[in-house]
């Protein structure tokens, strides 16, 4: 009777887990490759 509610809830939990994993992956990648930040040890030619 309430199986659809449980399956819908588990699908939502899986989706939220996937979103959190993607955000964690992106934040680690941004820290590793320093995306969008200026490097301090490289001289600017302008």
13 domain-assigned: yes
Q: Which domain holds residue 11?
A: 1-34
pTM of the model: 0.60
Residue 3 to residues 10, 13, 14, 16, 17, Cα–Cα distance (Å)? 11, 15, 16, 20, 21
Asked if the structure places residue 41 within a domain, the reply is: no
Per-residue pLDDT for the chain (46 aa), expressed as one digit of tens each?
Answer: 789 999 999 999 999 999 999 999 988 876 666 656 666 665 556 5
Q: Which two tokens stand for residue 17?
A: 């887990």
Phi, psi of 17 (to 5 degrees): -65, -40
Residue 1 lies in a domain: yes
Instruction: Answer whether 29's CB lies under 8 Å from 35's CB.
Output: yes
**Number of compact structural domains in the chain:** 1
């Amino acid at each position: 009777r309430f199986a659809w509610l449980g399956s819908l809830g588990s699908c939502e939990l899986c989706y939220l887990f996937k979103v959190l994993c993607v955000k964690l992956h992106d934040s680690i990648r941004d820290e590793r490759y320093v995306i969008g930040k200026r490097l301090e040890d490289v001289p600017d030619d302008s």
